[in-house]
C-alpha cells in the first residue's frame, strides 16, 4: 500500500472501440452507445490523463490521483459529502482517493516501482462526482482474496485482463 498523500496511478479504463483513434495527450472524444467525453472529467479535475490505443481497438486511460490517510478522509467526507455513504460503509473500511464521474466499479491500482508492476488494491465505490474537496471511497480488494474472482468475471464477459506496462521504466 502506498504511504498517505502519495501520488499513484488511480484508474485504468478499457473501452472497446469500433474503430481506431489517434493517441492524444489529454483529450479523447469517443462515440459509443452515447457520447463519452474523457477530457471533460480530466480537465475539470485538473488532471491530465495518459491515453493509449492498442491495435485491438481498446482505449486505455490512466489518471494520476492521491491517496490520503483514513482520519483525514473521514473528516473530509463528514464535512463535505452531501451524498450519504452506503449502508455499513465508512472511510475506516475503505481507501480514500480521487473519483472521476462514471468510473464507479473501476480498479484502483498501485504501481510498485521495485517490482515494476501494478497491484489491484481497490474498486472505486462512491463519491461526489469530480469534487476536489470531497474524496471518493474505494472498496479494499486484497489481491489474494478477490483477484481470481475479478478476472473470472472479466473473462466471462468476453473481455481480457487490463495489461499494464510502464513505458518510463
pLDDT tens-digit series, residues 125-168: 666 555 455 566 666 665 455 667 767 777 776 655 544 333 33
Q: What domains can you pick out in the chain, each with its CATH number? A: 1-80 (2.60.120.290), 102-156 (2.40.10.10)
Mean pLDDT score of the chain, rounded to an integer? 49
Stronger pLDDT, 25 or 156, i.e. the higher one: 156
47-83 pLDDT per residue, tens:
333 344 444 444 444 444 555 555 556 666 565 544 4
pLDDT at 155: 74
pTM above 0.85, yes or no: no
CB 104 within 8 A of CB 124: yes
Amino acid at each position: 500500500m502506498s504511504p498517505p498523500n502519495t501520488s499513484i496511478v488511480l484508474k485504468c479504463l478499457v473501452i472497446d472501440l469500433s474503430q481506431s483513434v489517434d493517441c492524444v495527450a489529454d483529450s479523447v472524444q469517443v462515440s459509443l452507445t452515447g457520447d463519452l467525453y474523457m477530457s471533460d472529467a480530466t480537465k475539470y479535475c485538473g488532471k491530465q490523463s495518459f491515453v493509449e490505443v492498442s491495435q485491438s481497438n481498446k482505449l486505455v486511460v490512466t489518471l494520476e490521483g492521491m491517496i490520503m490517510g483514513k482520519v483525514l478522509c473521514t473528516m473530509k467526507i463528514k464535512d463535505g459529502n452531501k451524498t450519504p455513504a452506503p449502508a455499513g460503509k465508512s472511510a475506516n473500511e475503505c481507501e480514500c482517493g480521487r473519483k472521476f464521474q462514471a468510473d464507479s466499479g473501476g480498479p484502483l491500482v498501485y504501481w510498485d516501482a521495485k517490482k515494476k508492476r501494478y497491484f489491484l488494491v481497490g474498486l472505486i465505490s462512491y463519491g461526489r462526482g469530480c469534487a476536489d474537496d470531497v474524496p471518493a471511497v474505494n472498496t479494499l480488494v486484497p489481491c489474494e482474496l478477490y483477484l481470481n474472482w475479478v478476472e473470472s468475471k472479466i473473462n466471462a464477459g468476453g473481455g481480457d485482463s487490463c495489461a499494464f506496462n510502464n513505458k518510463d521504466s
